[in-house]
Amino acid sequence: MNEPPASVLAADEAAPVSLYNGGGASPFLLVADHAGNAIPRALGRLGLAEVELQRHIAWDIGIAGLGRLLADALDAPLIRQNYSRLVIDCNRPLLAASSIPTISESTGIPGNVGLDEANKAARAKEIFRPYHDRIEAELERRRQAGTATALISLHSFTPVFKGVARPWHAAVLYNRDPRLARCLLPLLDAEHEFTVGENVPYTVSDATDYTIPVHAERRGLPHVLIELRQDLIADEDGRREWALRLARLLPPAYRALGGGR
Ligand SMILES: [Zn+2]
């Protein structure tokens, strides 16, 4: 056995977190927990073939590009994670079994089996923490500046999961606070072209989520988690279509709950 690495990320590797359009004047703050599929060199591709690291198990396909287009269209900041959720899932509590998954859908993740606490802690410290600290710092900066904020958590889902096709084009998810979701859902439904899920195919909970409970619910910020089906945003035309649609619908949804702008 090799000695465990003293740290996960080498000095020349990508930062875990990126801020795009940081000066954006919008009340919306966009976050993308699963935007990247990078794997630190020290983890040896987690024992997976390259093709697995391009699949939905590794990241939210299409969301990085969609997020940038939406950030541009809304003039909103976008904070995104650059490393794969297979390294450490930035939308899971650190104590959740799925924080560092040993299986995803039906694929075993060899590099995550039998990890000791030191290696788990290194991933939390170098990848999970900097991402959430960055969101926290941005929310705190906005609070101190008196800037109203609605947190928009961007995700994408695979059209077929464990052999079952999913009927939704998009979905709106929330847990304790439905305010912004309830304003956005009728606007999406009014597009008439789509099947829009409400708290399907996933739900938001303290046990299965981190970003919405910790950053939005605890601060009492209006928020919504938006899921887009990956085949709809797999190419640039699809990403642009959905970015422009969301940029058109989010401001009136926010105004409908009494937000400014
Ligand atoms: Zn996701």
Please give the pLDDT value at position 192. 85
For residue 198, report the distance from its CA to the centre of ligand 1, in Å: 16
Q: Which residues of 99-109 are buried (b: 16+ CB within 10 A; e: fewer)?
A: bbbeebeeeeb
For residue 34, report the distance from its CA to the centre of ligand 1, in Å: 5
In this structure, which amino acid lies at residue 116? D
In which band, very low, low, confident or very high, does the pLDDT at 260 lie, cut at 50, 70 and 90?
A: low
pLDDT digits (tens, 9 = 90+) for 183-237: 999 999 999 889 999 999 999 999 999 999 999 999 999 999 999 999 999 999 9
Euclidean distance between CA atoms 155 and 60, whole angstroms: 6
Contacts 24+ apart (CB under 8 A), 112-117: 112/46, 112/86, 116/4
For residue 106, report the distance from its CA to the centre of ligand 1, in Å: 17
For residue 6, report the distance from its CA to the centre of ligand 1, in Å: 29
Please give the pLDDT value at position 5. 52
For residue 49, report the distance from its CA to the centre of ligand 1, in Å: 21
Closest CA to 236 of 26, 34, 65, 35: 65
Scanning the structure block, which residue is given the tokens 């939005």? 216
The model's pTM is 0.96
Please give the pLDDT value at position 3. 55
In which band, very low, low, confident or very high, does the pLDDT at 6 lie, cut at 50, 70 and 90?
A: low
For residue 192, report the distance from its CA to the centre of ligand 1, in Å: 25
Euclidean distance between CA atoms 74 and 122, whole angstroms: 36
Residues with CB under 5 A from ligand 1 (ion): 34, 60, 155
pLDDT digits (tens, 9 = 90+) for 115-160: 999 999 999 999 999 999 999 999 999 999 999 999 999 999 999 9
pLDDT digits (tens, 9 = 90+) for 7-61: 999 999 999 999 999 999 999 999 999 999 999 999 999 999 999 999 999 999 9
For residue 162, report the distance from its CA to the centre of ligand 1, in Å: 17
Strands ordered across the beta sheet of 17-20 = 17-20, 78-81, 28-32, 150-157, 223-229, 170-173, 196-198
Which DSSP state fits 20?
E
pLDDT digits (tens, 9 = 90+) for 95-108: 999 999 999 999 99
For residue 172, report the distance from its CA to the centre of ligand 1, in Å: 13
